[in-house]
Structures are given as C-alpha cells and as structure tokens.
Amino acid sequence: MKRMLVGCLAAALLVSSGWATAEAKGKQQSKPKWADKNKDGIPDDWELKYKLGLGKNVANQDKDRDGLTNRVEYNLRLNPTKTDTDKDKILDGDEDTDRDGLTNSAEVALGTKPEDADSDNDHVKDGAEKKGKAQLANLVQKLELQMKTAANQTIKIDYHWSDRHSHLHIKDQTGEVTTNDVQSLINDLQASPSLSNDEVIAKIQTLFSLDTPFRLELEWKYGSGWARKLSVKQDEDKGENAGQPSDDQDDDDQVHDQNHDQDDEGNNSE
C-alpha cells in the first residue's frame, strides 16, 4: 500500500512538474523579443535609432511629414526621418511597396495595409478591389480645380481622401456649384482615367456651365499614384491656349464656402 502511495505521489509530482515546465515555457514564449517601453509594438531600439523618443504617441506621429506614420514606416522598413528612403526620387508615400497597384499613402488614406497586397485575404489585390463602380487603383485620391469664369468669378475645389474619409471643400463666387457637380466630375475621371485633356475640359465646361472666355487649372491623382494636370485659358475669339493661374485676388465677401466630409460608405464612386 505504501509503495502504491509513493508511486502515485511520484507520478503526481512528475505531472505537476511537467505542467509547471510547460507553463514556464509558455510564459517565456509570450515575452517580447525586444524592449518596448511604451508598448506601441515598435522596438525601442528602432525608435531611439531615429531619435523618435519613447512617448506614448510616437507610433502615430509622422516626423518626416511624408504622409506615413512612424508605425507604417516601421512596418515597411523605411526611414521615418527621410521622405525618400531609397533615394530613387520617388517619395516614400508614392512608392507601392507591396505591389498591389496602390501607393503607400493611398493605402493609408483608404484604410488598406501598405505592407500587404491583399489586406482582407480574399485573393484579390487591394488595387483591384472596388469601391462602388471604381477600382481602388482608379479612385481619385486628390483633386484641385480652380476656375475663372467669363464674369471674372472664381471657383476653387479641393477634394482628397484622408483617414478613410473623403473631404470636399468648395469656394464658389458664383453660388451655383453643387457637391453633385463635383461628384459627377470625380466619377467620370474614375470611370475613364485615360480621358484626353480635351474630353476632361469639355466635361468641366458642361458640368459647371462655363462660357468663354474662361480659365481653369486642374490637378488630380489616382490611388495608383498616376498624377495628371492641365492648365487652360480659353478666349472667346482666339480659341484655346495654355495659360497660367490667375493672379487676381478673391472677393471673400462674395465667396460661398462649403466643406463636405464623407465616410467610406458615401457615394464617392457611385
């Protein structure tokens, strides 16, 4: 009987010891491999190497102001203090690190992962994903439009994506420009990115009822990183000529100033 009790006790000790060993190993495995004093998921050594400090909000800061946070730059193995890490004359934000058809800055703005070509693991690259009717690669990420009408009135439109939202700001001395007008232009540019300059100008004339003479400057950029711009001065008698931006000052008393922010479920590409 005593032998049985001793045997059982020994077995229990062995099992208990095994559990303790396994538990200890589990705890050892759960320990981080590097120091992370501010618990932001970025090694302290990396933050100190680039003199970012160890503050609580370091991961969300953008020291080089290239549109990529320190966390994103760490994930992409970029230098958070340089706007062009590899010195290839392409800004870090305009690089497509994961080769999914979207620039790094576009992925941040749209909420996809710039370090993962298929953020949602659905076997479709992020650039080929659709928002409404437009592929993300063809989504207009930024647009700036300035127009001077025949009546010498100024219209300024600023549209961009940031933090998964679209933002629209309109300054309009005519009081006739609507968000639907701007959205129609954006939809056309997204549906047909290869529109010629003449076709784009014709659409703008129609949408905003521009009579000659008029001036316009347009710059826009797609999620793919493709940027386009055009500058036009069209006179009533002389036809169309490339022109420079107007130096005339706005009459702020006559400006209709509109701000419109939409979340990522808005009608940006419907």
Residue 35 maps to a domain: yes
Res 252 pLDDT > 90: no
Give pLDDT tens digits for 131-141. 989 999 999 99
Separation between Cα atoms, residue 40 and residue 38, nearest integer Å: 6
The number of distinct structural domains making up the chain is 2
pLDDT value of position 262? 60
> Is there a contact between 35 and 61 (Cβ–Cβ < 8 Å)?
no
Confidence of residue 70 (pLDDT cuts 50, 70, 90): very high
Residue 14 maps to a domain: no
> Is there a contact between 102 and 96 (Cβ–Cβ < 8 Å)?
yes
- Of 52, 86, 120, the residue that ends a domain is 86
Helix (H, G, I), strand (E, B) or coil at 174: coil
Q: Are residues 248 and 147 in the same domain?
A: yes
Give pLDDT tens digits for 201-233. 999 999 999 999 999 999 999 999 999 999 999
Residue 100 maps to a domain: no
**Which residues, in sequence order, are bridge partners of residue 216?**
147, 232
Give pLDDT tens digits for 107-132. 999 999 999 999 999 999 999 999 98
Q: Are residues 191 and 254 in the same domain?
A: yes
Confidence of residue 33 (pLDDT cuts 50, 70, 90): confident
> Is there a contact between 68 and 77 (Cβ–Cβ < 8 Å)?
no
Res 145 pLDDT > 90: yes
Domain span holding position 38:
30-86
Percent of the chain's residues with pLDDT above 70:
76
pLDDT value of position 236? 76
Lowest mean pLDDT among 9-13, 30-34, 59-63, 119-123: 9-13
Chain Cα centroid distance, residue 207: 27
DSSP 2: H
State the burial class of residue 153 (Cβ atoms within 10 Å of its Cβ: 0-12, 13-18, 19+): middle
Separation between Cα atoms, residue 17 and residue 226, nearest integer Å: 63
Would you tell me the crossing angle of helices 197-207 and 179-191 to the nearest 10 degrees? Answer: 160
Confidence of residue 244 (pLDDT cuts 50, 70, 90): very low
State the burial class of residue 200 (Cβ atoms within 10 Å of its Cβ: 0-12, 13-18, 19+): buried
pLDDT value of position 32? 57
pTM comes to 0.76
Residue 199 maps to a domain: yes
Residue 157 maps to a domain: yes
pLDDT value of position 34? 77
Q: Are residues 148 and 240 in the same domain?
A: yes
- Of 50, 69, 86, the residue that ends a domain is 86
Give pLDDT tens digits for 162-187. 878 999 999 999 999 999 999 999 99
pLDDT value of position 163? 78
Residue 172 maps to a domain: yes
